[in-house]
Amino acid sequence: MLLPVNNPLNAEELVFKGLKQGLTLFIPEKESFGHWLDVLDQRLDQAKSFFQGGAILVELGERRLTPGEVAGLKKILTKYRIRIKDFNPLSKKKLTPPPQERLPHAAGALLVKGTVRSGQRLENEGDIIVKGDLNPGGEIVATGDIIVLGALRGVAHAGAGGNTQAEIIAFTLAPVQLRIAHIFSRPPEGRRGRQGPEVAYIKGEKIVVERL
Amino acid sequence: MAGRVIVVTSGKGGVGKTTTVANLGTGLALCHKKVVMIDADIGLRNLDVVMGLENRIVYDLVDVAEKTCRSVAKALIKDKRLGNLFLLPAAQTRNKDAVTPQQMVAIVDELKEEFDYVLIDCPAGIERGFDNAVAAATEAIVVTTPEVSAVRDADRIIGLLQEKELYEPVLILNRLRPDMVKKGDMMDVDDINDILAIKLLGIVPDDEEIIISTNKGEPAVLNNHSKAGEAFRNIVRRLEGEEVPFMSLGGEPGLFGRFLKLMSGK
């Protein structure tokens, strides 16, 4: 990882640093994520006018977030009207596959551990990979691909923003609804999720599902 | 040692939160634990009715929060059957905003020094009432029934609990009807486990006795002939750390059923 000499991920404090990608919040790897959220809330409260309305990057290093933790982070940032531009600007290369012709977007991937439950919504500019399920009532929106290493039973929107090359992949694909770029589809009535990984992509003007 | 603080919640209304709190509270008290139940459903209180204690209420949760009564102890109602079981009732004429999460934490902090168990009956919904009920809890029990809508809400609640750092809620599946499961007309335990994927604390069968006991103000755990009462007694023992096998509800698929299941690859 390309890190400065004093690795802020080992620090005892939250560090905001200007990188060439933009202002970046480093959340240290020690201590619980909940602890850092409390600290962040206090810090932002003290510096309200400084951050208001901006967009930042968030560097987590080796830490993997649960959907609940992502939601918690977003909630605090939204309170101070801060948007997350992207995750892990430094460790990016490690998370994304090498750029291929089929994946022109190759932005950062957000890797989430745990189940995305009803009422939770994950968004990312780039790909989203979930190590868990996407339950009915939950939503994942990515400008890139969506990969669910489990059962996809909620709403998934890949290629949000218009990338018609985006794909949705799941170990069990039993969605409420799939969207890729501007195309919506819902599974035929009565279709039960087949066992085994499947991929959804756009063919013509339709979303098709195939065994992987 | 401070007692355990457990919130009983569900998201959806009418799945049996209050019945669960009444039965677990009574069951734990029967095991000689010192138990207090807090009704956090301000404005729609029920726990006092289910316990048959309605006519003994003088002070309530809001009085304690606003310090209208001198101490928490003054607002506690002793159960009419068990001397080590207490209820802190909700106010009926106020609404959820009458108490803040900080006040709840302060009240529970005081109670947990005195009691082995603090059980909090959470209102339905995900707003202030939920925030209040969850604020002071260190453990959570999610109650659901085998219906798609109830399971969906339970899933939402599990997500919200995790945002509040209650990472390992456990599940009580209430009002299961083995005959309907057998016919394939009701979600079974596996279907629900598949979606919620949290530890199962107990399964409570649908039981007419519950309606009778709720109306009489006598929790079903006290009734040795009630199937639901037996299920709640088992749950109490599991809470106390005992390994208790799930009771047979006579609804498991027979040899032939299991064979069919195997063949269909499920």
pLDDT tens per residue, range B71-86: 999 999 999 999 999 9
- In this structure, the strands spanning A177-180 and A206-211 are unpaired
Arithmetic mean of pLDDT over chain B? 92
- Partner A contacted by B184 (CB < 8 A): no
Q: Which of residues 137-196 of A touch B (CB under 8 A)?
A: 137-138, 151, 153, 195
Query: What is the per-residue pLDDT across B148-181, written as a single tens digit (0 to 9) for each?
Result: 999 999 999 999 999 898 999 999 999 999 999 9
Q: In this structure, which amino acid lies at residue A210?
A: E
pLDDT values of chain A reduced to their tens digit, one per residue, 212 residues: 444 456 777 778 888 888 878 888 888 888 888 889 988 988 888 877 777 778 888 888 878 888 888 888 888 888 888 888 888 877 654 443 333 333 344 457 899 999 999 999 999 989 999 999 999 999 999 999 999 999 999 999 999 989 999 999 999 999 999 999 999 998 887 666 577 899 999 999 999 999 98
Q: Break chain A down into helix, strand, coil percent, rounded to 5.
A: 20, 35, 45
Query: What count of other Cβ atoms lies within 10 Å of the Cβ of residue B193?
Result: 14
What's residue B120's pLDDT?
98
Q: How far, in Å, are A26, A46, B117 from residue A56 at the CA level?
A: 11, 17, 44
Q: What's the alpha-carbon Rg for chain A, to the nearest Å? A: 18
- Give which of B102, B109, B132 is closest to B120, Cα–Cα: B132
Helices within chain A (DSSP H only): 33-46, 48-51, 67-79, 92-95
Closest CA to A57 of A107, A23, A80: A23
pLDDT at B255: 52
What distance in Å separates the CA atoms of residue A175 and residue A134, rounded to the nearest whole number?
Answer: 9
**A71-90 residues touching B, CB cutoff 8 A:** 71-72, 75
B159–A118 CB contact, under 8 Å:
yes
A162: tokens are: 């218009």
Angle at the Cα of A155 from the Cα atoms of A149 and A156, rounded to 5 degrees? 60
B195 contacts on A by Cβ (under 8 Å): 133, 135-136, 153
Residue B33 corresponds to which amino acid?
A: K
Cβ pair B152, A136 in contact under 8 A: yes
> Residue B25 belongs to what H/E stretch?
helix B17-30
CB B185 within 8 A of CB B208: no
At A167 the pLDDT is 96
Q: What count of Cα atoms within 13 Å lies in the side-chain half-sphere of residue B218?
A: 9
Q: Which of residues 25-64 of B touch A (CB under 8 A)?
A: none
B156 — contact with chain A (CB < 8 Å)?
yes
How far is C-alpha B173 from the chain's CA centre? 11
Of A66, A135, A153, Cβ closest to residue B162: A66
Contact B195 A135 (CB under 8 A): yes
Task: Work out whether the CA dihedral A137, A138, A144, A146 comes out positive or negative.
Answer: negative
Copy the structure tokens of residue B237.
């023992």
In angstroms, how far is the first alpha carbon of chain B from the final one? Answer: 46
CA angle A78, A148, A34 (to 5 degrees): 40
pLDDT at A107: 55
Tell how far CA A154 is from the center of its chain.
15
Q: Which amino acid is at A55?
A: A
- Rounded-to-10 torsion of CA B100, B105, B106, B111: 130
A-chain residue closest to B161, CA distance: A68
Chain A, nearest residue to B165 by Cα: A34
Enumerate the residues of chain A whose CB falls inside 8 A of the CB of residue B265.
Answer: 195
B131 lies within 8 A of chain A by CB: no
- Indicate the average pLDDT of chain A: 83
Buried b (16+ CB within 10 A) or exposed e, A44-76: beeeeeebeeeebbbbbbebebbbbbbbbbbee
Instruction: With beta carbons under 8 A apart, name residues in chain A contacting B153.
Output: 118
pTM above 0.95, yes or no: no
How many pairs of residues across A and B have Cβ atoms under 8 Å apart? 42
End-to-end CA distance of chain A: 33
* Contact flag B152-A133 (C-beta cutoff 8 Å): no
Nearest by CB to residue B165, choosing from A34, A115, A117, is A34
Question: Using 50, 70 and 90 to split pLDDT, how confident is the model at B16?
Answer: very high
The one-letter amino acid at B257: G
Which member of A34, A119, A136 has the closest CB to residue B159? A119
Q: Quick check: helix, strand or coil at residue B249?
A: coil
Contact in structure between B238 and B244 (CB atoms under 8 Å):
yes
Distance CA A86, CA B261 (A): 46
Confidence (pLDDT) at B12: 95
- Spatial separation of the C-alpha atoms in residues B117 and A199, rounded to whole Å: 49
- Please check whether residue A92 touches B, CB under 8 A: no
Q: Which residues pair with A200 in a beta bridge?
A: A168, A209
In whole angstroms, give the CA distance from residue A27 to residue A36.
Answer: 7
Three-state helix/strand/coil letters over A124-151 = ECCEEEEECCECCCCEEEECCCEEEEEE
Query: A138 to chain B: which residues are within 8 Å by CB?
Result: 159
Q: Does any CB of chain A come closer than 8 Å to the CB of residue B159?
A: yes
CB atoms B194 and A119 under 8 Å: no
B69, B151, B154, B167 from B197: Cα distances, Å: 43, 11, 11, 12
Q: Distance between CA A67 and CA A92 in Å, rounded?
A: 19
Please indicate if any CB of chain A lies within 8 Å of the CB of B71.
Answer: no
Q: How many residues does chain A have?
A: 212
- If DSSP codes are grouped into helix, strand and coil, which group holds residue B35? strand
- A105 in reach of chain B (CB within 8 A): no
B165 contacts in A (CB within 8 Å)? 34
> What is the mean pLDDT of the segment spanning B132-138?
96
Question: Mind listing the pLDDT tens digit for each residue in B178-226?
Answer: 999 999 899 999 999 999 999 999 999 999 999 999 999 999 999 999 9
Which A residues 26-65 touch B at CB under 8 Å? Answer: 34
Cβ-Cβ contacts under 8 Å for B146 (sequence gap 6 or more): B173, B175, B176, B177, B181, B186, B187, B188, B191, B192
Which pLDDT value is given to residue A3? 47
Spatial separation of the C-alpha atoms in residues A83 and B157, rounded to whole Å = 26
